[in-house]
Each structure stands twice: as C-alpha cells, then as structure tokens.
A = this chain, B = another copy of it.
Amino acid sequence: MKIWFSFIEGIRNIKRAKLASTITITSVAFAHLLIGVFLLFSVNINQIIGDVRSKIELEVFLEADLSVKSGRSVEKKIIGLEGVKDVKYISKEDAAKRFQEEFGRNIYEVLTFNPLPSSCTVKVKKGYRNYSFIKKLSTEIGRIDGVDEVKYQKQILSLIDRYITIVYAIAAAAGIILIIIAIVLLYNTIRLTIYGRKDLIDIMKLVGATKTMIKRPFIVEGFVEGLFGALIASVILYGSILLIKRYIYPYVVNAVEIYIILLISGATIGIIASGMSLVRHLKEI
C-alpha cells in the first residue's frame, strides 16, 4: 500500500465517521480546555504570589543620632549580605522630605527638630523572598552596629509561607489528576470510536491488509483530530484571556508556552490513544 494512500484514507475516515470524529475532537478540545485552564490558573496564581513577594522589603531604622557617613557604612554592610538585592539609604533629610510629600507640611514647621531617624530600605533577591530567610536576615541586620530596629511585613510573609506548600501540593495533585483524567477519557473515546469500526478492521484483515496498513490511517486520523481539538481549545482559551484582560482583571498573565504545550499534547494524545486502541483490536491475527 502506498503511504500517501494511508494519509488520504486517514483524512477521509474523519469524514466517513462524522459522529465519531466530532465526538473525538470535542473531547480533545474539552480535555485540553481543562488542562489549559489549569495551567493558566497556576501561572497566574504564581504570578500573584510572586508580585506580593516582590513587594516585600525590610525597613532598617538606624540609631537616631547616626551620622550620614556611618549610615552609608551600614548600607554597605547590608549590601554585602547574602540574598540582598539592593539597599536604599534614606537620610534624616530624605525622611523629612518624604514627610513633607506625604503630609504636605514641613516637619521643621511642626517641631523645632527632626525626630525622624535615618533608615535603609532593603530589597531581597528573587529566590530568597521567604519568611525563614527574611527572619534570619532581619536578625543579622539587627546585629549591625548603628541599626536600631528592623521591620518587615512579617504577617503576610508567614501567611504565604504557611499555606504555600499546601496550595502547591494540592495544585500539583489536582494537575496530575486532571491530566490523567483527560488522557483516560480521551483514550476511552478513541477506543470506542475505533471499536465502532471493529467490523471494518476485521474485513480489512480478511482481504489481506497488514497491521501497518490498517493502523496508519487511524494514526493519521488521531493526529489530525487531536491537533484540531487542541487548536479549538487554544483559540477558546486565548479569546477568554483577552476578554478577562479587558473587562475583568487587566493583570492576568497569558503564556504562549501553554498553547504550544496544548497543541503538542493534543497531537501526541491523538496518536498514542489511536495506537493503543488499535493494539487491542489488532491483537488477534
């Protein structure tokens, strides 16, 4: 049998068994919609948590009468610590300016002296933005000469860190369950559609078609239907994300990688499910 005939047959089979191919494509589309929603959900949750974490900073208040020079030296010491991304030194004068900006009044008009301490704002590198590290860092900074007090958003951090592992664990479990379910349901669907053509397969065997000849068009069919189903899911997801971005939540994240994953997964599952179903039906002779 010529190979191109197998390809043409595969495409024709999609038309021949309209109900079966419609159902397969719908199933692939829905299953991938599910996986896609899950992936986008994860990416966005991750993004939100990352956002919150990136806003975490330590405020280091220096001793009230520390000179600018000593302050700068504290700044340098902090920069030298592990995990510190950058440090911003705020002198007493800077603090006074900020006060003016925030409250609209010059502090020297209110009081005769400037009671605001100089301080440093410390940002932490990406991988270090967790409670236990920042706690350690804060005591370390606290021990530096000239530092009066270190403050940071303890509560938010400990909250995120307490529940994050649970959330990730549940999400991973849900993700795995989801993918297994998608595969099993698709496999079942394709198996049923192929089972529905069992008689035809048997007849082909009887007129001298080899296994490969029978298989190839089904594999082509599985590939095309899988890809097409995943494409439909991708289009729906992409459209939804655009709508959500526009009308509901403008910061929603869209990742091209997800659509590539979906398309590859659709085609692969289509091929694998067809192949596996056929193995069962072709077992005898």
Contacts and interface: CB of A to CB of B under 8 A. Distances in A.
A189 B181 contact: no
A249 B27 CA distance: 35
Contacts of A249: 166, 169
A188 B31 contact: no
A159 interface: yes
Nearest to A44: B170
A34 B178 contact: yes
A129 to B, nearest CB: 15
B169 A23 contact: no
A188 B193 CA distance: 11
A195 interface: yes
Interface in A246-275: 248-249
Interface in A156-184: 156, 159, 163, 166, 169-170, 173-174, 177-178, 180-181, 184
- Chain multiplicity (copies): 2
A177 B37 contact: yes
A84 to B, nearest CB: 22
A30 interface: yes
Given A170-B41, A189-B189, A196-B195, A34 B181 contact: yes
Contacts of A174: 37-38, 41
A156 B196 CA distance: 57
A163 B48 contact: yes
| Max chain B C-beta neighbours (<10 A), residue from A41, A52, A178, A192 | A192
Contacts of A178: 34
A14 to B, nearest CB: 15
A26 B155 contact: no
A209 interface: no
A19 interface: yes
A186 to B, nearest CB: 9
A173 B41 CA distance: 11
Contact of A196 (B44, B166, B192): B192
A34 B180 CA distance: 10
A30 B185 contact: yes
23 contacts: A19-B191, A19-B192, A20-B195, A23-B191, A23-B192, A26-B188, A27-B184, A30-B181, A30-B184, A31-B185, A33-B181, A34-B181, A37-B174, A38-B174, A41-B170, A155-B155, A155-B156, A159-B159, A169-B248, A188-B189, A189-B192, A192-B193, A192-B196
Given A27-B184, A33-B177, A195-B196, 17 more contacts: A19-B191, A19-B195, A20-B195, A23-B192, A26-B184, A26-B188, A30-B180, A30-B181, A30-B184, A34-B177, A34-B181, A37-B173, A38-B174, A41-B174, A156-B159, A185-B185, A192-B193
